[in-house]
């Protein structure tokens, strides 16, 4: 990836790997330029390295895929979905589509992907983060306003990148 090895950076990558092994939702907090994105990208790339034995029939042992969503550029209805009050027609939101596609192994997500990450990159807003509470707790369920429930599979993770949590609560 054109990066120089640095002990503190390597430690951060290892720490992220360890926390993702035990938690399904992680906040990465830090100033712009503090390598938050680079840390998870390096971990994903490391997970996708082919074994040294090129004849290994199993290929890479830990395929990681990710979907990056910028929640600060859409309203909550566009993020989760919305029902038209006149026609009662449901329109899926970005996060609902990504979560459902990952769960169902719909393209571009595959069964072979042993780790599927949803990366929410942007300021934490109380409106959209409140709707994620039940996904981030042990229930791992996103309940949409049309009453659909999308449950995170064991190989799915949510990574939230933010400068701080100043606006996380009202």
The pLDDT, as a whole number, for residue 154 is 92
The pLDDT, as a whole number, for residue 115 is 94
Q: Using CB atoms within 10 Å of the CB of residue 154, give its burial: 0 to 12 exposed, 13 to 18 middle, 19+ buried.
A: exposed
**Chain segment 148-163, per-residue pLDDT in tens:** 889 999 999 999 998 8
Q: What is the mean pLDDT of residues 102-126?
A: 90
**Chain segment 119-129, per-residue pLDDT in tens:** 999 888 777 78
Radius of gyration, alpha carbons of the chain: 17
The pLDDT, as a whole number, for residue 142 is 87
**Whether residue 11 has pLDDT greater than 60:** yes
Closest by alpha carbon to 132, among 156, 103, 160, 91?
A: 160
């Amino acid at each position: 990836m054109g990066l120089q090895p640095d002990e503190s950076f390597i430690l951060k990558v290892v720490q992220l790997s360890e926390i993702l092994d035990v938690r399904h939702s992680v906040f990465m907090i830090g100033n712009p330029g503090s390598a938050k994105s680079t840390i998870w990208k390096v971990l994903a790339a490391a997970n996708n390295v082919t074994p040294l034995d090129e004849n290994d029939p199993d290929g890479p042992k830990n395929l990681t895929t990710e979907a990056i969503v910028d929640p600060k550029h859409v309203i909550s209805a566009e993020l989760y979905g919305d029902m038209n009050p006149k026609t009662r027609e449901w329109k899926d939101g970005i996060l609902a589509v990504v979560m459902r596609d990952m769960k169902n192994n719909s393209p571009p997500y595959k069964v072979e992907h042993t780790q599927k990450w949803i990366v929410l990159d942007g300021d934490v807003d109380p409106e959209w983060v409140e709707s994620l509470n039940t996904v981030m707790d042990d229930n791992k369920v996103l309940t949409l306003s049309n009453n659909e429930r999308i449950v995170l599979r064991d190989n799915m993770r949510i990574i939230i990148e933010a400068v701080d949590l100043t606006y996380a609560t009202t």
